[in-house]
């Protein structure tokens, strides 16, 4: 493990690192003993896809960031039905017919660490906007009256801003 850590620190390409780990860890041999030949071939194909994806990246961090953002929706499957639970950051650039944005309380969105500076609040406002614009047809915004923090929660200032904006537009 320490050897691979040193290689990552030196910028060893992720495709070589992944190939070395698969080869030297004995994972494939152990897997071959535990599953049927058909399951092993399927697992090998999936691992080869992973190695192929790693080949497109110069750094391990870039590769891991892309892998972390992958979802079943990335496969363009029109039959996909289900719920995708993700952070606002990973939803950027994607869209769904229905979006639920939860946690719209002061201290959650905007996060309590962002409240110290105007820039922090503006960044949280931008993230809230990103979340809201992921909805193609319906958007649901919610907040909880309490989250076991010992005191009642307050609705996010962003909800009040949305409400105020709606009232201004009706005038």
Q: Where are the domains of the chain?
A: 2-70, 78-170
Instruction: Count each helix (H run) and each strand (E run) in the chain, helices first.
Output: 8, 2
What three-state secondary structure class fits 137? strand
The residues of the chain scoring below 70 in pLDDT are: 1-10, 68-81, 148-149, 166-171
Tokens of 96: 């769904």
Reported as a single tens digit per residue, the pLDDT across 22-54 is: 888 888 888 899 888 888 888 888 888 888 888
**Plot region of 71 (φ>0 → left; ψ -120 to 50 → alpha; else → beta):** beta
Neighbouring residues of 7: CB distance < 8 A, sequence distance ≥ 6:
17, 20
Question: 78-170, what's its fold?
Answer: Double Stranded RNA Binding Domain (3.30.160)
Reported as a single tens digit per residue, the pLDDT across 102-111 is: 989 998 898 9
What three-state secondary structure class fits 58? coil
Alpha-carbon 114 to chain mean position: 20
């Amino acid at each position: 493990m320490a050897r691979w850590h040193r290689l990552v620190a030196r910028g060893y390409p992720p495709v070589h690192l992944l190939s070395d780990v698969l080869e030297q860890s004995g994972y494939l041999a152990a897997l071959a003993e535990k599953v049927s030949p058909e399951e092993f071939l399927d697992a090998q194909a999936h691992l080869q896809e992973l190695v192929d994806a790693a080949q497109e990246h110069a750094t391990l961090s870039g590769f891991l960031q892309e892998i972390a953002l992958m979802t079943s929706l990335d496969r363009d499957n029109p039959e996909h039905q289900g719920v995708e639970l993700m952070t606002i950051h990973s939803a950027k650039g994607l869209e769904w017919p229905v979006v639920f944005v939860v946690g719209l309380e002061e201290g959650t969105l905007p996060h309590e660490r962002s409240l110290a500076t105007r820039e922090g609040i503006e960044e949280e406002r931008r993230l809230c906007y990103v979340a809201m614009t992921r909805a193609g047809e319906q958007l649901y915004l919610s907040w909880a009256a309490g989250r076991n923090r010992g005191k009642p929660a307050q609705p996010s200032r962003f909800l009040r801003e949305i409400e105020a904006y709606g009232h201004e537009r009706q005038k």
